[in-house]
Structure 1
Amino acid sequence: MEKLGKNMEGATTKGVLGHLSQLEVEARSRKTHPHPQQRSRVKELKAEAEALMTQRDQLKAEIQTHKSLQKLRMSMDKQRTNEEEEEMDEDSENSQLLQLMASHTHLRDLLHAHHLIGGYDIIKTRQGRGVCVSVGTAYEGVYLDTYNLEIDLKPMLRIGRHNIPPFIPLNSLAERSDMQTNMRAFLDTLSRHLNAFAGRKQQLKFVKEQQKSVEVMESNVLCSILVLMFTVPREKTAVLCTLDYTDHTRCLPTRVHFECEDKELPDSPEWKKNCSLLMETPVHKALTTMKKMGNIV
């Protein structure tokens, strides 16, 4: 019996030791070969750590840049302050006040004159004995040329120097608008003439740039006459088109005339529509429509 008890005790001890040994092996195995989920989590933590370090470096660089800019601004402000202090004298405050009052009076006079003449730019000339008026031109939202004219105020209103084109009847417009009593009416009329001329000139420019198959046969400096050569695609017939802008305050023609060997073509319904199109639409846009419809090459 005593021998049997010793054998059982040895077996129990061996079993416990074996179990412990097995647990140790499994623990080592887990350290050496971690679970897939553990490996994935480790990668995520490493990636997050790298991203945070990158963000930290960027913030450091931005902070350093802001510090450098702040130092530069402080240095420039200090230099500007020193220069202003050097330029100041004992009467500087009184001088600045007088300049401010003069500027205020000048601005008030300009605003009053600006209102009286309908919003045109104006500046005083020759110590208030005259004014210089600027008239801007534009077409389809694009600002073009600006024209200036100097008007003497005393003893009566009189047009002096100017850069208005010579084919614009400036003196005639001044007489018809009664410039002496209605300056705004004169400037409005002049503005319509100049803007219409600028619009016609711009249309002619677009025709030359956009319609290579259309030949410009004739035009004048006022762009009040425009002669174009078309080609009808089917018969290869040449059509001479004359646009007459008798109303010099408009960008559209008052008369359109077609000439070609086919005497019946100008009176055809198709070309009557083309005539109406040219009279109601800017010429460069009308030509684009005519080309899309297959009326010209």
Structure 2
Amino acid sequence: MESAKGVLSHLSTLEQLATCRQVQPRQRSREEELRARVEALTAQRDRLKAEIHTHKDIEKCKERLFNQCTEEEEEETESNGSESEQLLQLLARQMHLKECLYAHHIIGGYDINKTRSGDGICVTLTTAYNGTYLDTYNLELKVKPTLKIIRHNVPPFIPLSELTEQAATRDDLRGFLDELSTYLNAFVGRRQQLSLVKELHPWAAVMESNMLCSFLVLMLSFPGEKTTVLCTLNYMDHTSLLPTRVDFDCEDEEIPESPLWKNNVKLLMEMPVHRALDNMKTMSHIG
């Protein structure tokens, strides 16, 4: 019996040792996890402190810049300052410009000035496509007693008179400028797309187009074949960059009705024409 008890006691001791050995790695693993977490939080704290310090320095630098009275004083400060001081000044200017651009956006993004006579305003509308600034249009307006256009350089096919009458009825100058800007940006955007087609896709012959760029006919061909397809794009919505209707004409009447060319219609109606042609060529639909 004593021998049996001794064996059981020995087995119990071995079991306790095995349990301790299993618990210790888990404890070490937990400690390492907590230590890594502490290090990550410490690094995050130090980074936030550095950002706060930099932001305070930039704000102080902005105040100094805005309080300077003459350009000579500003140039002297820049020439005598350290590299870090000059960097802070540049960051301060960048922040100031961003604030000005945001304010400009809030008021509609239009440059408005009073005329010399003081009874009207001059408005500048800048157009752009895909981040590239294009044409600038100007209007001289009388706002009171009703909205009236004195002179402008807006293209004649833009319904300016109709937009002016609607705005005068609503007494809504901002709405008038927004609508006119939409027409102008859509027009220059369609014109830019046509330009990109001619530049990037010389194999897609432009057969016909109009001044408003609301009608476009292209001749497309199959890769390695003599078969050609006439592609007609109609932009009946003059405030849009995308066509409202796409038609294909071919001697083989089955081609325009095929699933492949129906997919091409979808491409041309959902993305700018030069990008749609890129996709069609990549998929070897045309060449």
TM over 0.5: yes
Moved over 6 A (4+): 114-117
TM-score using structure 1 length: 0.60
The verdict on how the C-alpha distance between 1:197 and 1:280 changes in structure 2, with shifts beyond 3 A counting, is same
Residue 200 (structure 1) aligns with: 190
1:247 aligns with 2:275: no
Contact 1:125 1:132 in 2 (8 A): yes
The verdict on how the C-alpha distance between 1:152 and 1:180 changes in structure 2, with shifts beyond 3 A counting, is farther
1:174 deviates by 1.5
Q: Secondary structure at the match of 2:203?
A: coil
Q: Structure 2: which 5+ residue stretches go unaligned? A: 1-103
The verdict on how the C-alpha distance between 1:290 and 1:116 changes in structure 2, with shifts beyond 3 A counting, is closer
1:133 aligns with 2:123: yes
Question: What is the aligned residue count?
Answer: 187
Distance 1:179 1:133 in 2: 20
Contact 2:146 2:171 in 1 (8 A): no
Q: Secondary structure at the match of 2:134?
A: strand
Residue 232 (structure 1) aligns with: 222
Write out aligned runs for 1:1-297 (5 A): 118-178=108-168, 181-297=171-287
1:117 deviates by 6.2
Distance 1:127 1:165 in 2: 26
Distance 2:224 2:210 in 1: 32
Contact 2:158 2:183 in 1 (8 A): yes
Distance 1:116 1:288 in 2: 37
The verdict on how the C-alpha distance between 1:116 and 1:170 changes in structure 2, with shifts beyond 3 A counting, is farther
Contact 1:208 1:216 in 2 (8 A): yes
Contact 2:198 2:206 in 1 (8 A): yes
Partner amino acid, structure 2, of 1:140: N
- Structure 1 residues 215-240: Cα deviation after superposition (integer angstroms, max 9, x where no partner): 00000000000000000125421100
Distance 1:179 1:282 in 2: 35
Partner amino acid, structure 2, of 1:236: K
TM-score using structure 2 length: 0.62
1:179 deviates by 6.0
Contact 1:117 1:187 in 2 (8 A): no
Taking only the aligned residue pairs, the percentage that are identical comes to: 62
Distance 1:280 1:115 in 2: 28
The structure with the larger Rg is 1
1:120 deviates by 0.9
Distance 1:177 1:270 in 2: 46
Q: Secondary structure at the match of 2:256?
A: helix
Q: Structure 1: which 5+ residue stretches go unaligned? A: 1-113
1:290 deviates by 0.5
1:119 deviates by 3.1
The verdict on how the C-alpha distance between 1:198 and 1:115 changes in structure 2, with shifts beyond 3 A counting, is closer
Distance 2:202 2:106 in 1: 47
1:127 deviates by 2.8
CA RMSD of aligned residues (A): 2.2
The verdict on how the C-alpha distance between 1:275 and 1:213 changes in structure 2, with shifts beyond 3 A counting, is same
Distance 1:115 1:289 in 2: 35
The verdict on how the C-alpha distance between 1:163 and 1:179 changes in structure 2, with shifts beyond 3 A counting, is farther
